[in-house]
Amino acid sequence: MSLSNQENKKLQEIAAQIRCTIIDITSSAGGSHIGGAMSQTDILTLLYFKYLNINPSKPRWEDRDRFVLSKGHGGAGLVAVLANRGYFNPDVINNYGKKGSWFSMHMNAEKVPGVDISTGSLGHGLSQAVGLAMGARYLKKTWRTYCLVGDGECHEGSIWEAAMAAHHYKLDNLTAVVDRNMMCVDGRTEDVMSLEPLADKWTAFGWKVKVVNGHSFSELAAAFDFALANKEGPVVVIANTIKGKGYHLLENDPAWHYGALDSGKAEEAKRCILGVQSE
């Protein structure tokens, strides 16, 4: 299911719009986990606009594929994707982070259409994804589960417990993606607690591993195609990304794990993302 040039161009346009929406959300709310929301954008764009079997008009459709945002602090990015995918009117997200809003820093599955699993403390999403994948097998359903994990989250022991379980039960209907932007709230992951050799670790836990450029739709698509064809157990895609991808002020700077741009910088960021030259 390789991408045509037309598909690639369209996905790039969608991803740019989603990044602009993230900038708007963050600026309006006075802050969000902007860096990780920007790094994950291309992964979520490809999943929601090509691979996930979903119906935005029926967010609780029983046979939909499930998506778990284990790195729940990427919630602003997920909201931007869901709005652009048609789950709700994009105007609704103007209230992000405000009193009475559906949207908080972490998404509530009981409030936000399209969110399958609520988030909070990190490290639990992969375990929940394992449960969903096992549930589909028990019910003899063909829907798949995808789980996006943060690399800082891979410091959590519960991630590796879930990884062992997924291999043990040979969950070939489960695909995990690690947003490998090399940073977490306390700085660079390798300084806080080294993860490398990360691919070897997943392999040792019994997973099939694909390492890709997380901002290349063609590389991501090839990895997802591999996961769909694989019948030997779970697949993990380690997606090398750039924290804050899209705007130079944010990129590769752990200070932008959480924050907000002022109105001037927000407009500059959107022009940069869209490739619009300043007047």
Read off the pLDDT of each residue in 70-76 and give the average, rounded to a whole number: 91
Q: Which domain holds residue 60?
A: 5-274
Q: Given CA atoms 71, 77, 81, 87 in this order, what sign does their dihedral have? A: positive
Closest by CA position to 88, among listed 99, 98, 101: 101
Q: 199: left (phi > 0), else alpha (psi -120 to 50), else beta? A: alpha
* Per-residue buried b or exposed e for 170-191, using 16+ beta carbons within 10 Å of the residue's own CB: ebbbbbbbbbbbbbbeeeebee
CB 22 within 8 A of CB 45: no
Instruction: Give a yes or no: residue 244 inside a domain.
Output: yes
Instruction: Give a yes or no: residue 189 inside a domain.
Output: yes
Q: Hey, what are 148's tokens?
A: 């996006």
What are 85-114's pLDDT values in tens digits?
999 988 887 777 777 777 777 888 888 999
pLDDT of the residue at 277: 45
Instruction: Give a yes or no: residue 279 inside a domain.
Output: no
CB 121 within 8 A of CB 150: no
Kindly list the distances between the CA atom of residue 60 and the CA atoms of 63, 78, 112, 190, in Å, as whole numbers in the listed order. 9, 17, 11, 39
Least confident of 25-39, 52-66, 152-166, 187-201: 25-39
Instruction: Give a yes or no: residue 186 inside a domain.
Output: yes
Q: 113: left (phi > 0), else alpha (psi -120 to 50), else beta? A: beta
Could you give the number of structural domains in the chain?
1
Q: What is the CATH number of the domain that holds 219?
A: 3.40.50.970
Instruction: Give a yes or no: residue 101 inside a domain.
Output: yes
Instruction: Give a yes or no: residue 120 inside a domain.
Output: yes
What are 175-217's pLDDT values in tens digits?
999 999 999 888 899 999 999 999 999 999 999 999 999 999 9
Which residues 6+ apart lie within 8 Å of 111 measured at CB? 102, 103
Length of the chain: 279
Cis, peptide link before residue 197, omega less than 30° from 0: yes
CA–CA distance, 148 with 154 (Å, rounded to integer): 11
What is the percent of the chain with per-residue pLDDT over 90, rounded to a whole number? 72
CA–CA distance, 1 with 7 (Å, rounded to integer): 11
Kindly list the distances between the CA atom of residue 8 and the CA atoms of 50, 63, 80, 148, in Å, as whole numbers in the listed order. 11, 27, 20, 21
Q: How confident is the prediction for the chain on average, in pLDDT?
A: 92
- Can you give the pTM of this predicted structure? 0.95
What are 112-159's pLDDT values in tens digits?
999 999 988 889 999 999 999 999 999 999 999 999 999 999 999 999
Instruction: Give a yes or no: residue 226 inside a domain.
Output: yes
Read off the pLDDT of each residue in 63-91 and give the average, rounded to a whole number: 93
Instruction: Give a yes or no: residue 60 inside a domain.
Output: yes
